[in-house]
Amino acid sequence: MGAPVSRFADRRTLAEHSLPLVIATMHRAEGVTGVQTHVRELSQYLERRGQSASLVTPFSWGGPLTVPVFGPRLVLARLSGPASVAWHRHWHEVFLRNALRRHLAETDDCVIYAQGPLAARAALRARRGAHQRVVMAVHFRVSQADEYVEKHLIKRDGRVFRGIRKVEREVIPEVDGLVPVTKWARDALVSWLPEAASVPFAIIGNFVDGNPVDADPEPLGDLVTVGRLELVKNHHFLLQTLAEANREGRRYALDVYGEGPRLAELSRLATSLGVGRQVRFRGFRSDVRAFLPGYRAYVHAAYSESSSLAIMEAMAAGLPIVAGYLKPLAELCDEGVEARFFPLDDPAEAARALISLLECEPARAMAARAASDRFRRDFDAEVIVPRLLSFLQEASHPASGHSP
């Protein structure tokens, strides 16, 4: 991905003038979402260096109130997707704002690294003044409203959809900096919210710890994929691809790591397609990185992403990538180098991409080496986090100068 693109002209390291870092997120500290992984990787990087950041979540405030207030969302989810989304967003923001207000009352100058628009609004409302700067990470695709639509929880242009866009339209131009994880993410945001273009920004990709893990040395199979078993991850396409490869006389094994609401449906589909014995649903594993080196390639068929930590982890393990073509993913790996891309509407073409890679070991090994090299250059926390911290500190010094 190279050096981050920034509106700031001065890229000096500001460690000697660094301000306390407060990470604000709507999520629990632990979990498997991309945002939680991003926060965890950042926190672990700082801890390894004897540094720290304050993590503030909705669960940092309220104590026993969280269950009776957050719990009704589970009931609402069975009755109305939009009502469930609205309830979740409203009360998580209220609790996060209260938690931030309490924390920031005891803090002077600082940088609040907000993980999304609601966390940014909570921070803007809770901060005690402009000396507490707010920088927002752009993890979402186009708008958070679009992501809820893709999950079939709300309707496009419905009341909740418009309300989410309204929040983003009001909040994003007010923050002190933006950190999109890909160029595509920034372009997609600016395409519908031109005001975002005036906010200082740095395109800084996601990252994972590149330090070696205690890997399982035994071969585990041909293909692996990691992700929650939900519609947008498009696992059914991977099963169809295996079936197409079978028709071409190539039988590949696939291990699927993750859990979610589509497990039973996907299991039935695998059986009906005749690939049931080739697919293992391995469930969620917090130590999945230890298993990745046991496979020959990583496959990915999600039809909507702003980036992919799973692909980065696979590249860290030295796996070539076979994925559906999306512009954000094309920023992570190159066709014919680390990756082979396929159209997301043609399982037969996807099968041919798999076969061309797996049936030519020199090509597969070359792509594997390229993936490992690309990770160390572009996605290793040792390389990327210093860039992120530098930008966060620059955003706290508006007088340091940026291009008009």
Q: Which superfamily is assigned to 221-378 in CATH?
A: Glycogen Phosphorylase B; (3.40.50.2000)
Lowest mean pLDDT segment, chosen from 205-214, 255-264, 272-281 = 205-214
- Mean per-residue pLDDT of the chain: 91
pLDDT band at 213 (very low <50, low <70, confident <90, very high): confident
- Residue ranges, comma separated, of all CATH 3.40.50.2000 domains in the chain are 15-209+381-400, 221-378
pLDDT band at 115 (very low <50, low <70, confident <90, very high): very high
Three-state SS at 40:
helix
| 3-state DSSP percent of the chain in helix, strand and coil, to 5 | 50, 15, 35
Q: What is the mean pLDDT of residues 248-253?
A: 97
Contact (Cβ atoms closer than 8 angstroms) between residue 143 and residue 167: no
Kindly report the CATH class assigned to 15-209+381-400: alpha beta
Three-state SS at 111:
strand
pTM: 0.88
Lowest mean pLDDT segment, chosen from 91-100, 317-326, 388-397 = 388-397
pLDDT band at 400 (very low <50, low <70, confident <90, very high): very low
Q: In this structure, what are the phi and psi dihedrals at residue 344, rounded to the nearest 5 degrees? A: -85, 10
Q: Give the number of other Cβ atoms within 10 Å of residue 221's Cβ.
A: 16
d(CA 249, CA 175): 55
Q: What confidence score (pLDDT) does residue 313 get?
A: 95
CA nearest to 319, candidates 223, 208, 228: 223
Q: What confidence score (pLDDT) does residue 398 get?
A: 55
Amino acid at 350: A
Contact (Cβ atoms closer than 8 angstroms) between residue 189 and residue 172: yes
Q: Residue-wise over 155-174: b if at least 16 C-beta within 10 A, else e? A: eeeeebbebbbebbeebbee
Write down the H helix ranges in 127-177: 144-150, 159-171
| For the chain, counts of helices (H) and of strands (E) | 15, 11
DSSP, res 27: S
Beta strands across the sheet bearing 21-24: 54-56, 21-24, 110-114, 132-138, 177-180
Three-state SS at 303:
coil
Residue 214 has pLDDT above 90, yes or no: no
